[in-house]
A and B are shown apart, each in its own frame.
Chain A
């Protein structure tokens, strides 16, 4: 069993948000994207530990942008999904789809 499949739910959400944001994925925009898509308010602690963990696993890479005055002279750290990260999210989503296949949830009480 490959380690690539070991993605938690929040890790998948973060990776998908970064994928959606393309080149402009940094802390604030990732958090805003997650809120917009899921309605979930993410704490900084949860977000940055997940980003560090995903980077440690090699699923993300990061680069430092230019410092800006509105951030008190501090630079943004932009995140980008790596090939192994993309592979991991595709595998995780495929697993979900496989499990969902044949289940008729659309007309259920939670639809």
Chain B
């Protein structure tokens, strides 16, 4: 297996760190008789299977975690706006503020990282990392909301001013959600304690 640490990090999102370590250990052991493609597929397949099993076992818990995640995310956004000192009203003033884009980028990165850290630490004893339902929510909403808005309000009466008509806006929105998700996952992974006892440095 080429990068067991990445595989372990990915699996740690959907199971406890010590279990993720033992699963990756099993795959490392089996990797001698299989190729890189097989190992990557097994890691992705296991992560998806554990994720869907968790949703099927308790969908309300997922919903609850996603709602809590959103509340924390909005709170973190507010904190970051205050920290960066970006004037938020009126908008014309915000656009003219010095270093506007730097501050906006700081808010986006900082708020998502902070949310990931809080959710990862808060659900550190659970099998599922607290950021996963929020990440799933972001991905689903970001990819489907432009389609739903278009279907309900603009299908049959194309409006050139409607922003989602342009595929680029849609793609940017999807990329933005992917970026949010990556930073959230980074924060959640940093906050999650490492596998205790299941992963230790050994010598040959």
Contact = CB atoms under 8 A, between A and B. Distances in A.
Interface of A: 26-28, 31, 43-46, 48-49, 52-53, 56, 64, 67-77
B24 A74 contact: yes
Given A48-B15, A48-B49, A75-B200, 11 more contacts: A28-B29, A43-B42, A44-B26, A44-B46, A52-B15, A52-B19, A53-B53, A72-B24, A75-B22, A75-B198, A76-B25
Contacts of B1: 72
Contacts of B46: 43-45, 48-49
Nearest to A67: B200
Contacts of A69: 202-204
Interface range for B: 20 to 34
Interface string B14-51: 01001101111111111000000000001101101110
User: Could you tell me the dominant secondary structure of chain B's interface residues?
Assistant: helix
A72 B21 CA distance: 10
Q: Taking each of B1, B21, B201, which has the highest tally of chain A beta carbons within 10 Å of its own beta carbon? A: B21
Interface in B4-21: 4, 15, 18-19, 21
Contacts of A27: 22-23, 26
Contacts, number: 98
B22 A43 contact: no
A74 B53 contact: no
B28 A48 contact: no
B98 interface: no
A75 B197 contact: yes
| Best-buried of B46, B127, B195, B201 by chain A (most CB within 10 Å) | B46
B28 A71 contact: yes
Contacts of B24: 72, 74
